[in-house]
Structures are given as C-alpha cells and as structure tokens.
Amino acid sequence: MNPVAAVGSLIAVVIVLIAAVGLLRMPTPYARLHAAGKASPVAFFVAALAASTEVGWAGAGLLLVASSALVLTLPVAVHLLFRAVHVAAPEHDPVVDEMSRSASPRPTSADR
C-alpha cells in the first residue's frame, strides 16, 4: 500500500470513529442520525480517494460511480430515517412540530 492510500485510510477510520462517538454520546435520535448522516459520506469519499490510488483507472471509475450513487441517495435515505423516528418515537419530538399531520391544511383551488 502506498503512503497516500495508507494516510487516506487512516483519516477515514478517524472520521468513522468520531461519528461512532457522536452516535453514542448524542442525547436524541435526531442528533444521532445527524452525526451518522454527515460523517459517513465524508469517510467514504476519503476512503474511496485513498483506494483509487491503488486500484487503477478502472477501479477509480467504479469508485466514482459508487460515490455518485451515495451523493444522490443519501439525503433521501437520511430524510426517511428522520421521518421514521418522528413517527415511531414521539417522546423525542421537538416542542414545535412542523411535521405534524394536524397542521392546518393547504388551501385548495375551491377555497380561493
């Protein structure tokens, strides 16, 4: 393994460990998901960059495709996890619930 790949891999491991500490120390599920949702793609990008120095152009291209897929799908996945926590664990909800189903409905064209 070349030094660039080794240093990149170690940096990715440190980022994952920091995220793990955040998962254990954060008080609410929302904060835990935030810590995991922000750190995991950064760690993957650093690890992919480090690995691309070892695997050649074809492997680097595949890592670029995987990174692109992660960028496109991760925001939706984290949003769905937040929504699932909001529905399943109401005791952790914030004081102001902007996602409540009891909010006033939007006006329709018949109301105008």
- 52 exposure class (CB count in 10 Å sphere: 0-12, 13-18, 19+): buried
Provide the pLDDT for residue 60.
93
Provide the pLDDT for residue 101.
63
Question: Which band of pLDDT confidence, cut at 50, 70 and 90, is reported for residue 8?
Answer: very high
Question: Which band of pLDDT confidence, cut at 50, 70 and 90, is reported for residue 102?
Answer: low
Question: Which band of pLDDT confidence, cut at 50, 70 and 90, is reported for residue 11?
Answer: very high
For residue 91, CA distances in Å to 24, 28, 66, 80, 95 come to 19, 10, 37, 18, 10
Q: Whose CA is closest to 37, among 74, 73, 62, 90?
A: 74
pLDDT digits (tens, 9 = 90+) for 36-95: 888 888 999 999 999 999 998 999 999 999 999 998 998 888 889 888 888 887 777 666
- pTM of the entire predicted model: 0.72
